[in-house]
Amino acid sequence: MPKGQLLKRWNDWSAGVGHLVDDGRTPGMYYASGLLGLRGELRPAPFINTSGGTGNAIAGYTTSGSTAFGIAAVALQPADSGTAVSILGDTGAGVTNNTTLTFNGGVTVAQGDNRCLVVTVASTGGSAPTGVTHDGNAMTSIGNVSSGSTLTLSLWQLVATTTFASIVVTFAGAVDIVGLAEEVINVDQTTPIGTFYNHSSTATTNPAAEVVEDCEANSAILCCIATQNVTVTPPSGQDIFTIVENSTIRGAAGSFKNPGLLGNPNYHFQYFFEESETADADNPFLYAVRGHDEGTLGVYASKIILANTNFGNIQAGHHEISAPFATKLYAGQPARYQGLWFFPAGNDWTPRELTTVGSTTVAGDTLTAAGSGFAPGADHFANLGPQLVSAVQDGTNGGGARILVLDGAPRTSVNWGSVFQVGDKNERPAGLRSLQGASFVLNREGLFSFNSKGRSGLVFEDLRSWPSTFKNGVLVPREGGLLFRHPSGLRSYLPGEPPEGLGLDSQILGKPLPPAGPTEVHGGFYHGVVVVGDFTYSLYQQDPNTDSALILVTYKNQRGNVSVTQSLGTSALPAVPDLNGCTVVLNGTPISSAYTTPTLFFGDGSDLRYIILDPRASPFRARADTHRVNISADAYMSELRFTEPVDLTDLIIRTSADMVSGDEFQISLLVNGSADDIDVGPPAKGSGTRHIRTLDRKRVRSVVLHMNWTGTSAADRVPPVIQSIELYGKPTVGGEEQ
């Protein structure tokens, strides 16, 4: 029997997260990551899966002026799929008008296992070196690319080096030479380097970019460039290791911090759509558009399998929506019109039309060619009844909105109506959506509406005084209205009514400080948002200084008068300064080819991840719907504050009978505002359903209960549940505060 009286019983978590202080009425938590709460149960959320398949990484450089260039990028393949390739250091040197260049480099035994030395050579003229050696040993040519007779870039490799020694580059005739050496470990010793992706250009001001299409998980991408004597700068997310120059030639080599299936994490997913194979409606795919917040190296799309076999795998290849260009181009919202998907490509660029969806890889698709000199061009597309609408920032062609004539061809310029301004034409539209016979444009000035007659008006102008820094924004239909992202939170708009707040910060504007220890949740930023049925899924960045984001689901409580937010886990945002999108696919068959199951997709660092939901697109899957659950999660309960000090005596945890070997719920307490998170005895585990823990905490004025879940099972199963937690204590008599 407990030694004290019942102070608190936690047996209802149905109000979700965001409730800092326990008021005795609200059955919620303060913070959770991967634990879902209902009346009578706190359970781990469905498992976060990682997409497999063939990745692709976008690498490149911008230049300070017009230059010829040769660029190449390769994947450094891992020796062990569980160990990431690591680039430890670099050396470099240059020489003018000579047949040889000698400098030092190499990977020593002490630096690690599975060593590889990669040497990049940039030179004037149109020929590659006749050979490169390290410590007298011949290196193997990876490949070379030339820009006519102006310059040449070549890559060389040697595995299993053991010393830091002389590297000698030899040419048939005298040229200007730059050499760079990259020291790499954890590289496959049989096939250390993937395909040599490369191209070149004569004098141009356009950025140089290359797409590597054979990325593996834990591979690293090495991107090298040879230019004339101009400054080269990598995009954010791509490290620069070495730049060496002389009077006529410059060489640079860089890589990515976060090796993964999708290489550069700053090339992040923003827009998604589903489409089945043209010849087989039962073979669906997800297309995911990737852009960069700097807008320099183009826009690309990946193709993901949604059929049951290999569900979630990324198909080989990529679609180039916008090529690298001197004028910055950003990802835009595609739209389906008369059975075909159209990608916007920016002002003065012809939209790309996905004419055919092939049965497997990107190579089987048909995407119409790019073309400049197209008026008007578009940054975003949307549907307005049977018509197509576009919005574009001012540029070569006038900025504003346009409406396609009925049954018009989007790639035919004269089929677009006259432009009319929707807000400041010089502001890039962040979102475009149609609703109830009108269309809405979101930009840095506010939310504007227009109809088929071209009449526009301002709906919400708070963005003019508090603009978003994101190039793209959230503008999605919800319950007969629109949901859009404002820097202060989500806003729900119904035509004719002022926008209202929705989400974590909408219930209470003035928030007390949390005690030390718990992860703070209020005051963050929303990224991608998608509405499906009764549920709104979003990526929520709690702290602008980190890339961590909660994966949230929001829905109305049983009375329908208050929104509830729960957390399915966390994600590492690929690009903090820009919108990171998410989507729920509805035509996929992840569980069985016999029926479709909604699935949430989102980017996580250099990977694409997904969570399988229930048939209603809810994360609360049924007992009969056995499924894999998260193997790590935690939650902080709302802070209990006592009017008088108490001595804590006992804690009783009741769990369901669905616990299996490896399942553990560990309870800990943070008392009196301290950040010391102290475990309460051993974890609750095993088949028993009642777990008693003795406490000896004196003079407690406040307490936060912290719940940690860990599991080891990778099987489909019924989720284990905490049914209740009871805290016992008695009034303090003397003693010291703990």
The answer to whether 381 and 389 are in contact (CB under 8 A) is yes
> Which of 418, 432, 424, 434 is closest to 393 using CA atoms?
424
| Cβ neighbours of residue 559 closer than 8 Å, sequence gap 6 or more | none
- Domain-embedded: residue 174: yes
Confidence check: pLDDT of 349 > 60: yes
Tokens of 717: 């199963």
245 and 272: one domain?
Answer: no
CA–CA separation, 419 and 416 (whole Å): 9
Distance CA 460, CA 299 (A): 30
Q: What is the mean pLDDT of the chain?
A: 92
Residue 462 is predicted with a pLDDT of: 75
Same domain, 314 and 439: yes
pLDDT of residue 515: 84
Instruction: Give Cα 28 to chain centroid, integer Å.
Output: 29
**What angle is formed at CA 583 by the lines to CA 580 and CA 586, rounded to 5 degrees?**
170
pLDDT of residue 738 exceeding 70: no
pLDDT tier at 263 (50, 70, 90 boundaries)? confident
Distance (Å, whole) CA 253 – CA 95:
18
On the question of pLDDT at 250 being above 80, the answer is yes
- Considering only CA atoms, which of 499, 507, 402, 421 is closest in space to residue 460? 499
pLDDT for 82 beyond 90: no
In a 3-state reduction of DSSP, which class is residue 622? coil
CA–CA distance, 617 with 534 (Å, rounded to integer)? 8
Whether 658 contacts 720, CB under 8 Å: yes
Q: Is 708 among the domain residues?
A: yes
Beta carbons within 8 Å of 641's beta carbon, 6+ residues apart? 21, 22, 701, 702
Domain boundary among 491, 511, 531: 511
Which of 256, 285, 314 marks a domain boundary? 256
Same domain, 272 and 173: no
Judge whether 620 lies within some domain: no
Contacts (Cβ under 8 Å, ≥6 apart) of 453: none
Strands 525-532 and 431-435: unpaired
CA–CA distances in Å: residue 514 to residues 522, 544, 618: 10, 18, 30
User: Residue 257 pLDDT > 80, yes or no?
Assistant: no
Q: How far apart are the first and last CA of the chain?
A: 24
Quick: pLDDT tens for 415-465: 999 998 888 899 999 999 998 888 999 988 888 888 776 666 777 777 777
Are 409 and 418 in contact by the 8 Å Cβ rule? The answer is: no
Position of tokens 């690298």? 324
Q: Are 105 and 181 in contact (CB under 8 A)?
A: yes
Same domain, yes or no, for 28 and 70? Answer: no
Q: Side chain identity at 290, as an amino acid letter?
A: R
SS3 call for 110:
helix
Number of neighbouring beta carbons within 10 Å of residue 369: 7
- Alpha-carbon dihedral angle through residues 36, 37, 40, 46, given to the nearest 10 degrees: -10
- CATH assignment at residue 42: 2.60.120
* pLDDT tens, residue by residue, 652-673: 999 999 999 999 999 999 999 9
* Domain-embedded: residue 609: no
Tens digits of per-residue pLDDT, 525-546?
A: 899 999 999 999 999 999 888 9
Q: Specify whether 184 is located in the same domain as 222.
A: yes
Do 462 and 425 fall into the same domain? yes
Question: Is residue 405 within 8 Å of residue 417, measured between CB atoms?
Answer: yes
Domain ranges, residue 169: 57-256
Q: How far apart are CA 308 and CA 630, in angstroms?
A: 21
Q: Which amino acid is at 240?
A: I
> Coil, helix or strand for 462?
helix
Dist. CA 346–CA 395, nearest whole Å:
9
Name, in order, each residue with C-beta under 8 angstroms of 104's C-beta and a sequence gap of 6 or more: 91, 164, 165, 166, 167
**Residue 140 CB partners (closer than 8 Å, separation 6+):** 156, 157, 158
- 471: helix, coil or strand? coil
Same domain (yes/no): 85, 191: yes
Instruction: Tell whether 161 is covered by a domain.
Output: yes
- Averaged pLDDT for residues 246-260: 80
- Read off the pLDDT band of 734 (50, 70, 90): low
My answer on whether 290 and 428 are in the same domain is yes
pTM of this structure: 0.94
Q: SS3 string of 518-586?
A: CCCCCCCEEEEEEEECCEEEEEEECCCCCCEEEEEEEEECCCCCCEEEEEEEEEECCCCCCCCCEEEEC
- Assess whether 309 and 424 both reside in one domain: yes
Mean pLDDT score, 144-148: 97
Grade residue 736 by pLDDT with cuts at 50, 70 and 90.
Answer: low
Cα dihedral 581, 587, 593, 594, rounded to 10, equals 140
Dihedral of CA 618/619/622/624: which sign?
positive
Q: How many CA atoms lie within 13 A of 443 on its CB side?
A: 23
Which pLDDT band holds residue 513 (cuts at 50, 70, 90)?
confident
E-assigned strand segments in 258-365: 268-277, 280-291, 299-305, 319-322, 335-337, 340-343, 346-349, 352-356
Same domain, 81 and 33: no
Q: With H, G, I as helix, E, B as strand and everything else as coil, classify residue 480.
A: coil
Same domain for 14 and 79: no
With a CB cutoff of 8 Å and minimum separation 6, the contacts of 612 are 46, 47, 49, 590, 591, 597, 599, 627
Average pLDDT of the segment spanning 234-239: 82
pLDDT tens for residues 20-79?
A: 999 999 999 999 999 999 999 999 999 999 999 988 889 999 999 999 999 999 999 999
Percent of the chain past pLDDT 70, that is, above it, reads: 97
Output the domain CATH number for residue 332.
2.130.10.10
Interatomic CA distance for residues 48 and 539, integer angstroms: 14
Show the CA angle centred on residue 372, arms to residues 371 and 377, nearest 5°. 100
Q: Read off the pLDDT of each residue in 272-289 and give the average, rounded to a whole number.
A: 98
Span 164-172, average pLDDT: 98
Picking from 534, 574, 582, 581, the residue whose alpha carbon sits closest to that of residue 558 is 534
- Determine the average pLDDT of the residues in 198-212: 93
**The last residue of a domain, from among 256, 278, 306:** 256
pLDDT band at residue 516 under the 50/70/90 scheme: confident
Taking the CB of residue 374, how many other CB atoms lie within 10 A of it?
21
Residue 379 near residue 321, CB atoms below 8 Å: no
Q: What is the distance between the alpha carbons of residues 43 and 354, in angstroms, rounded to a whole number?
A: 43
3-state secondary structure of 83: coil
41 and 63 fall within a common domain: no
Q: How many domains does the chain have?
A: 3
Q: Can the peptide bond before residue 720 be classed as cis, meaning omega within 30 degrees of 0?
A: no
Q: Quick check: 282 pLDDT over 70? A: yes
Pairing of strands 387-392, 55-63: unpaired
Residue 122 lies in a domain: yes
pLDDT digits (tens, 9 = 90+) for 287-331: 999 998 888 899 999 999 999 999 999 999 999 999 988 888 999
Render pLDDT for 392-408 as a digit per residue (tens, 0 to 9). Answer: 999 999 999 999 999 99
* Mean pLDDT of all residues in 369-393: 93
Asked whether residue 575 is assigned to any structural domain, the reply reads no
pLDDT at 737: 55
Residue for token digits 């939170």? 489
pLDDT tens digits, one per residue of 89-136:
899 999 999 999 999 999 999 999 999 999 999 999 999 999 999 999
- Answer yes or no: is 4 within a domain: no
Beta bridge partners of residue 592, listed in sequence order = 595
pLDDT of residue 333: 97
H/E/C letters for each residue in 185-198? ECECCCCCECCCEE
**729 neighbors 646 (Cβ within 8 angstroms):** yes
Separation of alpha carbons 176 and 98, rounded Å? 6
